[in-house]
Amino acid sequence: MSQANHNSNNNNKEKHTISALVENNAGVLSRISGLFARRGFNIHSLAVGVTEVPDVSRITIVAEGDDYVLEQIAKQLNKLVDVIKVRTLPKHGSELLSRELMLVKVSCTPSERQELIAIAKINDAKISDVSATAMTLELSANQQRLSAFEELIRPYGIKEIARTGVIALQKGATSLNS
Amino acid sequence: MNAARALVKCLEKEGVTSIFGYPGAAICPFYDELVLSNSSIEHILVRHEANAGHAASGMARISGKPEVCVATSGPGATNLITAIATAYMDSIPIIALTGQVHSEQIGKDVFQEADMTGAVEPFVKHSYLLKSPKEAAELPRIIREAFHIAATGRPGPVLIDIPIDVQLEEISFSVDDYQPSSKAPPEIRGYKPSFSGNKLQIKRVIDAIAESKKPLICAGGGVFARNAQTLMQQFAERADIPVVNTMMGISSFPSDHRLSCGMLGMHGKQLPNRALNECDLLILLGARVNDRAISPSNSERGFKVIHVDIDPAEIGKNLPAAIPVVGDIYAVLEQILELLPKDLGKHDEWCNYLLGNKTGANVVIKSSFDDSDDNNSSEEKNVVSPKEFYGSLNKLLPKDAIVTADVGQNQIWTANNIQLGEGGRFLTSGGMGTMGYSVPCAVGAKRGNPEREVVAICGDGSFQMQFMELATMIQHGINIKIIIMANNRLGMVRELQKLKYQNNLTAVFLDGSPDFIKLADAYGINGEHISNNKDVDKALTTLLASKKPYILVVDVDAEERSIL
């Protein structure tokens, strides 16, 4: 309903990367995920980790929505006492350093091994584990490259995938703390 | 001393004089220390935990600072949730203290365990759980932070959940070292509410007012949050701008003022809604544009919006704002008044058009009942007409009285027709629409200002959600007056079923209700039951003259409408 008020030109739903510094408390994650759930914001991925400051964590959220939703996400996050700082990161790759780590376990017969090693090498993926019938590859890249890599090895038979969710920093000298 | 005693001492230092609560095993150390430490704090034993929260809310709205409710773990704490949510929706600063099971047993589903910080997460401004005895020493810091967070910025409820073993933990704490939050605001990294408005935006506000031919102020509950009523009145008078208010903003502007238009919205009268529809500049002061007040379609009418709110998330949420002003309403109004040109013209044409020839104190506010096409047939039906009733009430009630209304037809009648003057307050559950709010809220309000006349108005439905508090009133000598608008119906739902559900009246009949006068008598409370217009004046005079609690049951027609 509320969105109906807003300029329909803004109705293009895009993915946005939001970075937040939060108190490293128990419960902060549930406060944030609860906020997204009850306000109806769509999360694509959410990654949490410690930072250079011991009691501060960084949460990187990739969310989908128009400008109105994005503004509300930032404002509502800022209202949480545990949230120290929120910033919507630039969308363009020229300004944004965005990475996700993927582990992918793929079926691999001895005869296919060299082929897969070659594919891994071309894509800067590491071979993390090899067994008689499978190989686990590790790749850290942006989401497009991860998807492309996944497609490339799909024909061999993907047994399982684990991904961390996107983490990101703005390029250049600026930081969220500054 | 143990943490429980430190807690009591911190509350005293924060200026808490009365707390509302209900004990249980997990909060016993706190109750123990209330007595053992010879605390100056009066404990008021409510008869249901939700009412402890509502009473704290009523008191906070009058005292202007956070007030405290207490409950035990599990069901005691979960019973508080409705009150916490009610306070959250209306931005009322309350502190909820809950006992929790032994810290080592948390997560094991032991007797009377409930995850309270989890349960209230959507309804609190912030919450704390002291997870282990090691954190007991943090309690004084947490109390100071809780009062600071509840009271500042956009006010709201804060919950502190304390396991029984944490309450009993010995800590080193010196009472003399404790500085109350209002004197020594704590530094909280993630909490920095803004105070004054952005200078550039204030300049734009001034320009927009100067350009506007038909400006309108809409006052919300935020005006009370910073006690900005007088400043707002100065602003309205100097800039010659008519004032409408939301339900939460009722009594922020004197009803008999020449610029007063009344409550707008779905349940409001014609005049304020016409003002909204025809204005060219809407100045929202501490109002969050609830769907019942301003419908989204209003934004298409082309008026310009200035939105002043301390919560940036409210600006642009429900209505696009051309000029957003984030800040403390008191500070922002001061900034505006400072810059407002002395030679600002009057808006005679607009004011005359809206408010006719209303002048000074002789104004007769058009009652919403005047819009009714019904001929008054109340005498034949042996009922009191609400119009007559509110006419008498406005005549007899002191202008600085505190009036609480419940939810339902009684709320809409009161909201549209009560006329209060300077110092008068109207309190109701605006955002949440919580039935059973009026009496406990009045109990708290009376403690907030014992000198004032406090009258709770409810229906015969809502009264039965809260009449256990009659015992609280008697036990603690809280002399509030209760008016029950009785029609043996859940009137608002009946009306909705009549209008929208082909008059298929379902579950709205209150047959089986007790004789309220006999019930009051069982508590030792006097009362009167009236069902004729001619008895109204006398009954209200008796009610207001009573030095003790008093109940007046007013029979109204079951077919009476709330939207008249």
**B64/B55 Cα distance (integer angstroms):** 14
Task: Check CB contact under 8 Å for B189 and A1.
Answer: no
Position B361 scores a pLDDT of: 36
Instruction: Please state the ipTM of this predicted complex.
Output: 0.88
Task: Check CB contact under 8 Å for B190 and A4.
Answer: no
Nearest by Cα to B205 from B41, B351, B346, B333: B333
Position B358 scores a pLDDT of: 52
Nearest by Cα to A73 from A103, A98, A42: A42
Which residues are CB-contacts of A145 (< 8 A; sequence separation ≥ 6)? Answer: A123, A139
Q: What is the residue-level pLDDT of chain B in tens, covering all 564 positions?
A: 999 999 999 999 999 999 999 999 999 999 999 999 999 999 999 999 999 999 999 999 999 999 999 999 999 999 999 999 999 999 999 999 999 999 999 999 999 999 999 999 999 999 999 999 999 999 999 999 999 999 999 999 999 999 999 999 999 999 999 999 999 999 999 999 888 999 999 999 999 999 999 999 999 999 999 999 999 999 999 999 999 999 999 999 999 999 999 999 988 988 999 999 999 999 999 999 888 888 766 666 789 999 999 999 999 898 889 999 999 999 999 999 999 998 888 999 999 999 985 543 333 444 455 554 444 555 567 999 999 999 999 999 999 999 999 999 999 999 999 999 988 999 999 999 999 999 999 999 999 999 999 999 999 999 999 999 999 999 999 999 999 999 999 999 999 999 999 999 999 999 999 999 999 999 999 999 999 999 999 999 999 999 999 999 999 999 999 865
Position B381 scores a pLDDT of: 74
Helix (H, G, I), strand (E, B) or coil at A175: coil
Which residues are CB-contacts of B197 (< 8 A; sequence separation ≥ 6)? Answer: B308, B325, B326, B327, B331, B332, B335
Task: Check CB contact under 8 Å for A75 and B131.
Answer: no
Residues B347-378 pLDDT 10s: 999 999 999 855 433 334 444 555 544 445 55
Position B368 scores a pLDDT of: 53
- Measured between CA atoms, the residue of chain A closest to residue B300 is A5
Residue environment code for B318-346, b if the CB has 16+ CB neighbours within 10 A, otherwise e? bbebebbbbbbbbbbbbbbeeebeeeeee
Residues B144-177 pLDDT 10s: 999 999 999 999 999 999 999 999 999 999 999 9
Nearest by Cα to B453 from B405, B401, B418, B527: B401
Contacts of A2 in chain B (CB under 8 A): 296, 317-318
- Strand bridging mode A83-88 / A14-23: antiparallel
CA distances from B398 to B251, B255, B403 (A): 13, 13, 10
Amino acid identity for residue B289 in this structure: V
In residues, how long is chain B?
A: 564
| Cβ atoms of B266 and B292 closer than 8 Å | yes
Residue B467: how many other CB atoms lie within 10 Å: 21
Asked if pLDDT for residue A96 goes beyond 50, the answer is yes
- Measured between CA atoms, the residue of chain B closest to residue A34 is B122
Position B364 scores a pLDDT of: 42
Distance from CA of B434 to the nearest CA of A (A): 20
**B346/B360 Cα distance (integer angstroms):** 16
pTM of the model: 0.93
Mutation site, A5, A6, A9, A38, interface B, largest B CB count within 10 A: A5
CA dihedral B515, B517, B522, B523 (to 10 degrees): 130
Distance from CA of A18 to the nearest CA of B (A): 17
Contacts of B126 in chain A (CB under 8 A): 81
